[in-house]
Structure 1
Amino acid sequence: MTRHIERRVLLRGAGLATAAAGVALAAPAIAQTAPQIRWRLSSSYPKSLDTIYGAAVLLSKYVGEATDGRFTIDVFAPGEIVPGLQALDAVQNRTVELAQTALYYYIGKDPAFAPFTTLPFGLNARQQTAWLYHGGGLELQNAFLAKSNVIGFAGGNTGAQMGGWFRKEIKTLADIKGLKMRIPGMAGQVLSRLGLVPQNLAGGDIYPALEKGTIDAAEFVGPVDDEKLGFNRVAPYYYYPGWWEGGPTIHFIVNLPAWRSLPKPYQAAFEAASAYANADMLAKYDARNPAALRRLVAAGAQLRPFPTEVMDASYKENIALMAEISARNADFKTIYESMLAFRNEEYLWWQVGEYPYDGYMIRARTRG
């Protein structure tokens, strides 16, 4: 009897010891060994554009949760630390460890920044992501960005953008000559070759410039963000497509030494959170744009496609511009040719799979 009692006590003790060991093993390993790291992220986008800015908030949320709060990222709007368009400089000199921005903002430094966001008549959103992840784009991107002491991660995509708001109707190519339009970057360079006068204005300056007639037209993003900024109240004609931004990628760029100093589990958490933000942003725009477009049209916006001759002339001038830049910039040439080859291959599939399906479904919807 005594021997049975002793055996039960021993077994109970062993069970308690095993349970205690299980509790110890259940504690996150990362919390036992990982350092506490706090980074600052400066965004190029205001909080009011919550679909884009929200991707930075998502990154911070999931990095923190994945590391049990050991790696935290504080998100700052433009101007809270540095102006929005100085995000790259701030990351380079480690004023902040990372930024949320669009790489084509920095073509003044080097036009080779642009393809990793988008180029006129470039890739659509899915193709852009496919090129970056599986077509050699990220390798080309980060080899180029290393020259600026940064590394980049795809962190969102708006999908195809709209062609912008115009105070007067565009019926022919002649109608764009002399127009003053808020359209920065390479699209502005293309249209300037056709007689348009490009203007580079921050988002908050567009509405008053349109209202006063200082500019005649402006492009920004698409229905969700354009509705928030109220452009339909001062420019009634809403054109499509935004051929200069078929699928622009928003990036998280990180100071390269800071990245290399991160523990591997933190790097993995960051990459996974960035990839989630990349997918989530496009999903939000796709979900929200239809209702926003309906509201804009109900409020008086007049949808118009760009005339074919405007599209064709822009396409022709874009090819010439890309050739000129490639001739004088070896990095751009390498990156552009990679993207161009990928685009041409992708449309072999698109014309068989994606386009016929979407085209049929659009016609079926119209028939009711």
Structure 2
Amino acid sequence: MCNNVCRTESQQILPTLPPVNPPVPLGSVTCYDCVSTDGTDCQTNTCEGAYCLYERRLTNNQMYLRKSCLVEPVIQLDDETLVTNVDICEVRNTAISRYFVKICNDANLCNNYCNPGQSPPLPQRQPLVRCYDCESSNSDCFTGSCEGLFCIYEKQFRIGTSKTYFRKSCSALSYAQYPDGSYTGAANVCNIKVINDVEYNVKVCNTGNLCNSQCTQDSSAVTCTECSATNADDCSGGTCQGRFCVFERSKSQLDQTKTTVKKYCSTTSILTFPDNTAYVNLNHCQYKMLGSVQTALKACNSTFCNTACSDVPLPTPAPQKSAGCISVTLIFSYFIFWILS
């Protein structure tokens, strides 16, 4: 019969899996728990955990702010590097972002702010402004529009080729970052900075709609010394006003009494040496030796900043044989040759 044999199969037991999102265990600190993407601070909610996190990320003039609780003292940045230090506000740079990060558990609500000392302040909440949103090469642009807490005007002038690039946009931040990692100054002021061979004109503003139409420093002109002299390393005299003060001096290596010096005002920081190479060291003296003449240049943008550049020692001219010595040598050699013959 078909039911003579009875076989019992053991039932397969599936492993017990942990929950996908384990609950955050209650810890010893209360933390702020909120997110902001409009450039403002947040303190809306709280949570409890083993650690608190403050994370502020700056990417392409956009700011992302997160405050939360952590189970373990570690977070991963966009380049997969890890931050594990506790109770320290750190500044971390990746290829595309700058982070301000603090993991802490030393006090309740310790993730309120992360201030490494020189970090720019967070802007306060304020009405949006309408801005130009465009970019162009070699000519200004006034097309497109966007809305943000601030408008940005940026003009790049490449000194070596005289090419110009314009960009106008919106931002949630009251400052902009230069390629060398430094920041612009106060908002609503035209900031000028030379990096390598590029002059940057940048303004971050919120004075009104379309405030990023242009960037000029006419309202903040500086007073400079204006004079000229010969056979002197320095001069004094009158004054002038302009966007920049300039100092120029030319000194001969062969005759240092033939020195000319000039101080004046200028609408630009773009200067060139006699061989047409660019001056690129704004607010500092720059020297160049061409043949037997040394040229010193300085452009700066603070009141009476065009003081004389220090007198850098000139190289000693190589000794030159006089025509008389050559003639005596030739005569003496001819006399020896006549005796021997």
Structure-1-length-normalised TM-score: 0.21
Would you tell me which structure has more helix in proportion to its own residues?
1
Tell me: higher relative CO, structure 1 or 2? Use CA pairs within 8 A at least 6 residues apart: 1
Larger Rg: 2
Structure-2-length-normalised TM-score: 0.22
